[in-house]
Amino acid sequence: MMVRSKILIYLLAFYVLLQFIWWGYQILDLGALADQTQEDTSRRVIMIIGEGGVFILILMAGFWKIQQSIAKEIQLSQRQNNFMLSVTHELKTPLTSIQLALQTLKKRNLNPEVRENLIAKALNANQRLSSLIDNIINASRLESNDFTPRLEIFPLNTFLQSKTEELTIIYEQASITLLCEVDIINADAYMLETIFNNLLENAIKYSDENPKIKISVKNKGRMTEITIADEGAGISAQEKLQIFKKFYRVGNEISRSQKGSGLGLFITSEFVQLHKGRIKCENNNPKGTKFIIELPHG
């Protein structure tokens, strides 16, 4: 059971014990009521009834809080189980793909087109594996409060063009459009790269066979606003409230078709908050999802 649930139960039990001791004292002291006036007796009865009412209210509130805490614990446990199932699959699948591609390249004389296709698949699988390992390490460090942004000023447009070209090579079917109206940004380069990797890979993953993604960057007051929009299936209103939670993924891991670990958006949200920024998820028009990030100019 979670530490918070245990503390609540211990506090509630301690309060119940104290209350019973106090009421026991009151019962033993009833003999003294005979020597008191009617007014004193009425005051004592009202006091006991009032304490009893407060006791019942506190007891009900305590049980409600414990029930909430246990429900959250069950949800977290389910997400952790899903994470373990997904990681087992996510580690094995790219390794198998890389191994098959390398074995084919080694044993056969292939024409250039097939060869390039196998190399692209191996690079894609390697990128997936690298992203998963990075996310696991980053989530662990965030849990230990081991991250402090190392802010530096660098050209944002050049940075985004480089990331876009890199992902276009790996995901050949993706069409990524970049519109950047901001020249420089003051941010942690590693964290910003991780944010873009997670959001862009997420957009590609949840789109159709030919993903169309638009990245736009502009100044908005004292903030730099970064929008990443896709034309995929979209995210329901209920899921929008959950997607930034650690390990959260929609549905059951056994029946889910999309790949993922449930860490990417959690890490993205945490990195944005470490920059004292904000992130939100909205519907894209006419379809799909867009993530909007606001980072202070610094």
From the centroid of its chain, how far is CA 271? Answer: 11
Report pLDDT for 252.
Answer: 47
- Label residue 116 by pLDDT band (50, 70, 90): confident
Global confidence as pTM: 0.64
Asked whether residue 137 falls in the same domain as residue 158, the answer is no
Residues 13 and 45 in one domain: yes
Mean of per-residue pLDDT scores for the chain: 79
Distance between CA atoms of residues 194 and 130, nearest Å? 11
| Residues 25-56 as b or e (16 or more Cβ within 10 Å = b) | eeeeeeeeeeeeeeeeeeebeeeeeeeeeebe
> Percent of the chain scored above 70 by pLDDT?
73
| 3-state SS class at 30 | helix
Report the CATH number that the domain containing residue 265 is assigned in CATH. 3.30.565.10
Residue 195 and residue 284 share a domain = yes
Q: Do residue 127 and residue 167 come from a single domain?
A: no
Q: Which residues pair with 219 in a beta bridge?
A: 224
Q: What is the pLDDT of residue 92?
A: 76
User: Do residues 165 and 198 both lie within one domain?
Assistant: yes
Are residues 239 and 202 located together in one domain of the fold?
yes
Backbone angles phi, psi at 183, to 5 degrees: -80, -50
Query: What would the mean pLDDT of 262-277 be, rounded to a whole number?
Result: 91
* Residue-wise pLDDT tens digits, 36-88: 555 665 666 676 667 666 767 777 777 777 777 777 777 666 666 666 666 66
Average pLDDT over residues 128-137: 82
Give the integer Cα–Cα distance in Å for 295 and 273.
9
Reported as half-sphere exposure (CB side, CA atoms, 13 A), residue 220 has a value of 16
Q: Where do runs of H (alpha helix) occur along the chain?
A: 3-28, 38-107, 112-143, 156-170, 189-205, 237-240, 264-274
Of the candidates 30, 45, 73, which is a domain's last residue? 73
Contact 231, 206 (CB under 8 A): no
pLDDT of residue 146: 80
Rg (CA), the chain: 29
Q: Which of 94, 120, 143 is the last residue of a domain?
A: 143
Residue 32 has pLDDT above 50, yes or no: yes
Domain of residue 12: give its range: 3-73
